[in-house]
Amino acid sequence: MPNEETIKVGIGFATGRKTFRKVLKTNILSWREGGVAQNENISLNLFVAYDLKYANTKVTDYTNIPQRLLKDFDGTYFLGKTTMSSEIRNLVSTGALSPEEAQLFFRGGYAGQRNMVLYWAMKKQMDYLLFLDDDEYPMAVTNTRDWAVWSGQHVLRSHLRYMLDTGANITNGYHCGYISPIPSIEFNNQLTKEDFRVFIEAISNDIINWESLEALMRQGGVTYAEPSILTGRGYEEIPLVNQCRFISGSNLCINLKDSTRVHPFYNPPGARGEDTFLSTLLGDSKALRIPCYTFHDGFAAYDQLMDGVLPIRLRPVCTDMDFVIERFRRACVGWVRYKPLLLYLTQRDTYESQIEDMRLQLAATLPKITSYLRCEDFMDISRELDCYHQNVKLHAMQFQKTIETWGKLVSWLESERKSPFMQ
């Protein structure tokens, strides 16, 4: 790390789970072990946007962090409803934003939470902002033996290294573990492999596709780290696919030094995809995939990893568990809710025909999926598609308004910094 000046680094969480504090502790200990926390040239700052309604939590589930851990931070900012309401009133009263703009930009949901963190990190003049998730741990697992082989990962140190070496706008690491919500399926006459392929192709996009998911299902739904990436030291540029540089919302570092290259998050109401829609804005950005992993505990089944218990085998994701089926259903709903807008933004010439193809594919396969998994709620997916298709122009307008609002916020922050009255 350079000695000339202090590097101000923000660590951002958009969270709603009680496990947040345990994940934070694990990461702090990892930073200490990797030497980042002790580096006097690095200022660490914590930004936590929390949602009390997501899992019926209370404020202290996020703020009650032992001082022995907080001492590694030069600043800690907990962004709950009260704090953000006060900030929004200030932005509106000063004329920085209209009430409607503020409501759209900071509204509930994952995009709104991430925008809170992004805005606050810019306000506090961070150089870099690393987003971490509350269900991901700084470790990797491979299946190069007959048992699982684990390795620690220096996530923060890796992002800082590549940011400083390359001047990238975005660095994004890899993920292993239970990334996909799609369970292993034992195909039969009730649901054939071809049926499932057609269903997946209907709801999938450029990064969720049948080829990758079929390979994943053969591994029991577990994504293992690639040894060549773990042992490599190089990076690769994230390719441009249908006008997108696809990134994930965690293990993600954003360079805040050039505000013109910093973009906001957005998702249609009730949908996910906030990282996907950020991806549509990265065409002119230097976005790199760097060799560091996090383990995604998508089913909250392996938090003992943070206590040092390393399983020798990872359990397959099977359809005999109700919570697996429900997570799969929610993921399908989430994908189908944001796919219309993604197609509208990136493939408008063929948008209508692709929506019609989706309708036909879902009509042919949803009854079979519903019967096989014994879950009638899967039939709602067709209605979700129609609803979000009908509102796609409204969502596109909201997305554009979000981009414009972010531009106003950045200009306002820059003018505030130049003000002689700013403290």
- Domains with residue ranges and CATH for the chain: 7-182+221-316+400-418 (3.90.550)
Q: Which tokens hold the place of 301?
A: 């089944």
pLDDT digits (tens, 9 = 90+) for 290-307: 999 999 998 888 999 999
pLDDT digits (tens, 9 = 90+) for 336-379: 999 999 999 999 999 999 999 999 999 999 999 999 999 999 99
Q: Which class for 91: exposed (0-12), middle (13-18), buried (19 or more C-beta within 10 A)? A: buried
Nearest Cα neighbor of 39 from 67, 83, 63, 6 is 6
**Predicted model pTM:** 0.95
Contact 359, 385 (CB under 8 A): yes
Output the pLDDT for position 382.
Answer: 97
By DSSP bridging, strand 75-79 and strand 236-237 are unpaired
pLDDT digits (tens, 9 = 90+) for 225-249: 999 999 987 899 999 998 899 999 9
The three-state secondary structure class of 226 is: coil
pLDDT digits (tens, 9 = 90+) for 139-196: 999 998 889 999 999 999 999 999 999 999 999 999 999 998 888 888 999 999 999 9
Output the pLDDT for position 206.
Answer: 66
Cβ density class 326-362: b for 16+ within 10 Å, e for less: ebbbebbbbbbbbbbbbbbbbeeeebeebbeebeebb
- Among 215-219, 251-255, 269-273, the range scoring the smallest mean pLDDT is 215-219
Label each residue of 351-390 as H, E or C.
Answer: HHHHHHHHHHHHHHHHHHHHHHHCCHHHHHHHHHHHHHHH
Q: State the average pLDDT over residues 308-334.
A: 91
Residue 204 neighbours by CB distance under 10 Å? 16
Compute the half-sphere exposure of residue 107: CA atoms within 13 Å on the CB side of its CA: 18
Q: Which class for 318: exposed (0-12), middle (13-18), buried (19 or more C-beta within 10 A)? A: middle
pLDDT digits (tens, 9 = 90+) for 99-121: 999 999 998 788 999 999 999 99
Output the pLDDT for position 94.
Answer: 95
Q: Does the structure show a pLDDT above 80 at 49?
A: yes
Query: Rounded to the nearest 5°, which phi and psi values hold at 14?
Result: -110, 105
The residues near 108 (Cβ < 8 Å, ≥ 6 apart) are 51
Q: State the average pLDDT over residues 386-408.
A: 98
Contact 174, 229 (CB under 8 A): yes
- Mean residue pLDDT of the chain comes to 93
Q: Does the structure show a pLDDT above 50 at 423?
A: no
